[in-house]
Structure 1
Amino acid sequence: AKNRPRLDLEDPHITDDEVKMWTGWRRSELSVMQKSISGLMKDSKNRSTELALAMFWIKLRTNLTYDQIGMLMNYKSPVDDYRKRVAETCSSVQENLLAHFVPKSTYSSHKKRHLVKMLSIVLPDGYVVDAIGPFAGNANDASITESILQLNDSLQRWTDYGDILLVDRGFRDCIGSLEEAGFEAKNRSRLDLEDPHITDDEVKMWTGWRRSELSVMQESISGLMKDSKNRATELALAMFWIKLSTNLTYDQIGMLMNYKSPVDDYRKRVAETCSSVQDNLLAHFVP
């Protein structure tokens, strides 16, 4: 028969926050680890695989001695014996996690190596207000953000309702969640002609005009067109000339500009934008 541990993290009366306080992980996260090593470790009379995993993380989290952990887990052996057994259990868990869990969770197919990720909250002037993590290397930006919104209040602590979050296209799958949380999420276009790393020659390659020439046109129509959530007047002008200078379709241009609407919707919006730019240029710039 098994004695129930004094610190039984499987007890439903122990909350997720309390489990995390002892192990550094929530039950759902521990469950993922447990599944990866469950076939490699056998249950014993003193502990299950779940308990072995909990002991390992409690040791790392609290630095309690092996005999103190053994006592918390109600080991029935003499003190000297269960000190040895707890040490062996922690060593076995470590070896199995390193062999079967860590490689699957930390390998980044993009970077072609193992790594962990941090997510930084940075102000427009470059000041870093918080760094959240670490997160598994195989997690993408959207899934990391979703987990932060669900389990972490860092974003809410550092921001106000209605603040603008500048994100890249890796966050496109969580834009809705960010907006539900009260943020206004904006991302740069894939083809951002205002990017200082894009040269004047490259701007001309896409639009047929240099930045200074586009700027003159933009000044002539800036008061006639309102910025929208998907594009500024400068971007509208770029879209119009990209359409004339290339064989791209409206939906391809919409994708390059990171429009958040469905494809059919942003095809229509890009067409309307190009038509509006044309009308305003013909009325106020060409004459």
Structure 2
Amino acid sequence: MALRGSKRRIDFDTENALTSSDILNLTGLSKENFNDLCSIVQKGNLRDSRTRSVRTCIGIFLTKLKSGLSNKLLSTLFNLGKDSVRRAIASARKYLSENFVPSNLGFNHISREEVITSHTRPLAQSLFGKGMYPAIIVADGTYIYIQKSSQFKFQRKCYSMHKHRPLVKPMVFVTTSGYIISVIGPYYSDGKNNDAQIMKHIIQHDIEEFKKWVAEDDIMIVDRGFRDALDLLQEMGIQTKMPAFNKKGESQLPVEDSNVTRLVTKIRWVVESVNGRIKSWKYLDRVLPNSQIPFVSDYVNIACAIMNKYWPELNTGDSEQDEQLASKMLYLSKQKNLLHEKIIEEGLDKRSCKWQKIDASSAPSFPRLSEEDIRNITVGVYQLKLAPSYTREHLDDDGNYEVFTCDHEENLLCAKIQSRHISSKCYRVWVKYDDISVVGWYCQCKAGSRVVGTCSHVTALIWYLGIGKYTDNIFENCRDWSKYLLDARNLPDPVTVDESDNEEANDEE
């Protein structure tokens, strides 16, 4: 791709100088989309200069945004002076911010009706819409990391006690299909600029005419960090959906709260994925020099506008499948966890209850399952992706998978699954089954009582018993990186010196 001695090492001007994959790797856009963006820009007032064309200008800017390379490296790759690269980036940023972003990002670029009809997943409407077809928005803050500042007041206001580093926070509003409605900010990141306070600021200042855009009974899906803004949203007539909190003194959500929380997280994941997409532009995933703080908003907005126009939405859903899934989840959300009640009533979680340790390979008559069977149980794929990692840690050095059976309860297994976050924490998991399927589950983790899907610990046990133990090379894609590192905790045992070897010992008289 970069030929030494050529006039320009990376050439966006010459037809077929770069392949489609080259352009995609450099700019994040397909060749067709890159050409379309350049044609839009060429219709405006951005002109060729003596050292670069409009196409090269856009190519340099997108390569910078996608790869995060320094201007010095870009000057080498494009065979231009560093000042020429800097001016090209500034020109492209300014033009795209003023002319491209407004038509592809912001509450003013799209109507509420278009969001409802074209960018709302049927699953979200079925779970929360209640046949009224409101606009459903998912909101969350994302992070752009910056350098420490010698201005101490600014440094304090940009220091996040959550991430323990300086950063600024754009607030992202997306639809349930992953289309980005708007990105507002960035804001400071200290305690006075939490998600709830940022939401209050947006509403009370009516940024981008937010209050005019939303309507009564629209739905805002948020995380727990927005709890202090719920009253203000509800005063506007906006319904809010948020994961539940543990009650004081409780370590686990009640079954009802855990079920409802799963309905929320089933939709809310999309904003986390959008934040991940934003960070796929490597320039936004690195620590920005403070000289770039004035342009953070431009860079984030341009990246989001490009994703809106040229990237596919994350998940538009299938109407029939989404309606079936929503009906199933709504039905399950009203059910009780009968196995949980049985464990509590009969004291199966007490030490007085005798459990016999066995290897999972000898688990009596556990049904063999497919991945689709387990997806129907988990109501999602995230827990299923974690199952091999949990399984690998649970296996002992001899490859045995330890589970427990109870003498007076048939077809009930128990296991202790190690927490992936806390070394000293293990969760007890129970699974009830019959000859063909899993009929009940319970885990002692925070979300383990729910029946709308399963937590990761329950999924790991079901996955190994139903699939993993029948599969060769189940950890083929899980490399053990620990063998490349040293552990300072592993110290040799102290050598005991025999008293008779002590030269200063008193001779016996």
Provide the TM-score with structure 1 as the length reference: 0.40
* Relative contact order higher in (CA < 8 Å, ≥ 6 apart): 2
Q: Comparing both structures, which one devotes a greater share of its residues to helix?
A: 1
